[in-house]
């Protein structure tokens, strides 16, 4: 999506979020960087329309979200539904993992991401 379609307020918020990664987001970023040698080009805190994806590989149309406690509220779940619907309508696959999954089960998380990313990887990551 061209930058001209992204409001400056959203771009500024994305920049701030890139500086303030949570522990789970930092762990996810380390995992995603392991896929780089295979052609994966994930970006952190990437604006997509009015929303900011935690991690996005734009050419593969893959978004990965790392959810904290705020996503467990009624308002959080409602926001996630609207956001996921928007992203899916834009052609993105959205994968969601909560903080505990990322921190306590990184092997499972990595394998799930690898499964969805496999068609876009240069050679299968081990």
Look up the domain containing 30 and give its range: 3-118
In a domain, 84, yes or no: yes
Q: What is the CATH number of the domain that holds 74?
A: 3.40.960.10
Q: For the segment 45-90, what is each residue's pLDDT rounded down to a tens digit?
A: 888 988 989 999 999 999 999 987 665 667 778 888 999 999 999 9
* Residue 107: per-residue pLDDT: 95
Residue linked to tokens 């994968």: 95
Contact present, 40 and 32 (Cβ < 8 Å) = yes
Question: Is 125 part of any domain?
Answer: no
Contact indicator for 19, 28 with CB cutoff of 8 Å: no
pLDDT at 109: 96
The confidence score (pLDDT) of residue 104 equals 95
Q: pLDDT-derived band of residue 1, with 50, 70 and 90 as boundaries?
A: very low
Greatest CA span in the chain, whole angstroms? 41
**Residue 107 belongs to some domain of the structure:** yes
Helices 23-33 and 106-117, axial angle in degrees (round to 10): 50
β-sheet with 51-57: strand ranges across:
43-48, 51-57, 62-67, 93-98
The answer to whether position 54 is within a domain reads: yes
Lowest mean pLDDT, pick from 88-92, 115-119, 121-125: 121-125
Domain for residue 69, yes or no? Answer: yes
Whether residue 28 is contained in a domain is answered as yes
| pLDDT tops 80 at residue 103 | yes
Would 91 be classed as within a structural domain?
A: yes
Query: What is the per-residue pLDDT for 4?
Result: 62
Number of domains in the chain: 1
pLDDT of the residue at 75: 76
pLDDT at site 49 = 86
Residue 123, domain member (yes or no): no
> Per residue in 2-26, pLDDT tens?
456 776 776 666 566 566 788 999 9
């Amino acid at each position: 999506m061209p930058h001209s379609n992204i409001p400056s307020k959203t771009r500024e918020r994305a920049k701030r979020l890139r500086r303030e990664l949570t522990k789970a987001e930092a762990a996810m970023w380390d995992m995603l960087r392991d896929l780089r040698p295979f052609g994966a080009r994930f970006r952190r805190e990437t604006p997509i329309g009015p929303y900011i994806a935690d991690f996005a590989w734009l050419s593969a149309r893959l978004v990965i979200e790392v959810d904290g406690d705020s996503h467990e509220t009624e308002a959080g779940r409602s926001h996630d539904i609207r956001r996921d619907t928007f992203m899916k309508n834009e052609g993105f696959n959205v994968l969601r993992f909560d903080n505990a999954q990322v921190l306590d089960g990184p092997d499972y998380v990595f394998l799930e991401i690898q499964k969805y990313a496999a068609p876009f990887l240069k050679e299968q990551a081990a």
